[in-house]
Amino acid sequence: MEKTEKRRDGVQGLPNGWIREEVVRKSGLSAGKTDVYYYSPDGAKLRSKPEMIRIIGNKADLTAFDFRSGKFLYNALRKGKSRLRQGYEYSSRGVRSDASLVLPIRQTASIFKQPVTVKHSQGDSETKTDLKHGSQDQPRQMFWEKRLSGLSACDYSGDILKALDLPKSVQGVGPNLTDENLLQSIASRLHLSNQPVIGQVASVSAIRKNPGVHINPDQPLIQKLIVTDDDIRRQEHRVKLARRRLEEALKGYDIALGS
């Protein structure tokens, strides 16, 4: 276990309640290294200056604040500004001595500064990388439903619930997919996507030949579904039967409570 030594003290110049912590590592490959942390008045642990700026906001100006030492280094800030002003000096031949200027300067033998006006003749346009790659979507693992194989849902008493039976018209398009995998694929698409579930449009042969190209990740791993009017009528009949059985069960439950 790595041993450390901690020292805490207040920070002059910050609002009341701010604490600076210095942690010195005593062992391991990083022995002797010092880590610096700050704690806000509400106890939040901060590891960088940007985090401090977000929390302090307008309560204090941290421009000259040095995160490592915990001090305000105004002299270093003034020296930095002085170097920026000196960057525009010219040599005796009139050649600029700093190439980091914002505006280009005409390279002549004159000893006078001659700024050049920059005129853009082309409006905003897409870069080559935008045209090449387009919008970047987060990659998804193909056939990830197989990782859920062997997992089953249970009720409150721990009994495993019976899996649903898929219609014969629902056929998978991936290699060695079980009905359980197809159910997981359909359920995930219904939950994560707002698009209608229609299945894979590409043919089974094309998907087997190159699934990475032809599989649509926004659709479940089933062949394209075609719902007919007969399918709709059969489903409506099943729903009516289920509602009737539920109504009869509730009536029987009320009668049992009354007796």
Which pLDDT band, with edges at 50, 70 and 90, does 150 fall under? confident
Distance CA 78, CA 25 (A): 34
Q: Does the pLDDT at position 104 exceed 60? A: no
If we measure between CA atoms, which residue out of 204, 221, 229, 214 comes closest to residue 170?
Answer: 221
What does the pLDDT read at residue 91? 44
Most confident of 8-12, 84-88, 137-141: 8-12
What does the pLDDT read at residue 93? 46
The secondary structure of residue 200, as a DSSP letter, is B
For 202, residues 6+ apart whose C-beta sits below 8 A from its C-beta are 214, 215, 216
Which pLDDT band, with edges at 50, 70 and 90, does 128 fall under? low
If we measure between CA atoms, which residue out of 138, 130, 187 comes closest to residue 164?
Answer: 187
Task: State the average pLDDT over residues 166-173.
Answer: 82
Q: Does the pLDDT at position 73 exceed 50? A: yes
Tally of CA atoms within 13 A in the half-sphere of 10 that contains its CB: 7
Task: State the average pLDDT over residues 190-202.
Answer: 85
Tally of CA atoms within 13 A in the half-sphere of 66 that contains its CB: 10
Distance CA 196, CA 194 (A): 7
For 34, residues 6+ apart whose C-beta sits below 8 A from its C-beta are 22, 23, 24, 25
Q: How many C-beta atoms lie closer than 10 Å to residue 227's C-beta? A: 10
88 vs 207, more confident: 207
Largest CA distance in the chain: 112
For 184, residues 6+ apart whose C-beta sits below 8 A from its C-beta are 145, 148
The secondary structure of residue 167, as a DSSP letter, is P
The secondary structure of residue 177, as a DSSP letter, is -
Residue 160: left (phi > 0), alpha (psi -120 to 50), or beta? beta
Q: How much is the CA Rg of the chain, to the nearest whole Å? A: 35
Distance CA 188, CA 177 (A): 15
* Least reliable range by pLDDT among 32-41, 138-147, 203-212: 138-147
Which pLDDT band, with edges at 50, 70 and 90, does 259 fall under? low
* Least reliable range by pLDDT among 131-145, 166-180, 191-205: 131-145
With residue 9 as reference, give the H or E element that holds it: strand 4-10
**Environment class of residue 9 by beta-carbon count within 10 Å: exposed (0-12), middle (13-18) or buried (19+)?**
exposed
